[in-house]
């Protein structure tokens, strides 16, 4: 299991969609409104839909993710 910094992810997605909204994609403002109330899991799903690399938001890897010696 990997722990994601969902606050940083939420800030990133708000900026990402907000920039899109003011750069000629006004429908992205709807995404901004939705992102404000999304759970951590929903934020991760939204990020994957948008093609955001979640590895940049990893805080800690669980023991299950450690390679075998």
DSSP of 12-63, one letter per residue? HHHHHHHHHHTTT-TTHHHHHHHHTT--HHHHHHHHHHHT--GGGGEEEE-G
pLDDT of residue 38: 95
pTM, full prediction: 0.77
pLDDT tier at 68, thresholds 50, 70, 90: very low
Mean per-residue pLDDT for 46-64? 86
Tens of pLDDT, residues 3-40: 999 999 999 999 988 888 788 888 888 888 899 999 99
Domain layout of the chain by residue ranges: 3-53
């Amino acid at each position: 299991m990997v722990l994601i910094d969902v606050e940083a992810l939420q800030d990133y997605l708000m900026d990402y969609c907000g920039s899109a909204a003011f750069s000629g994609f006004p429908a992205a403002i709807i995404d901004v409104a939705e992102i404000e109330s999304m759970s951590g899991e929903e934020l991760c799903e939204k990020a994957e839909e948008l093609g955001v690399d979640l590895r940049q938001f990893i805080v800690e890897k669980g023991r299950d993710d450690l390679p075998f010696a």
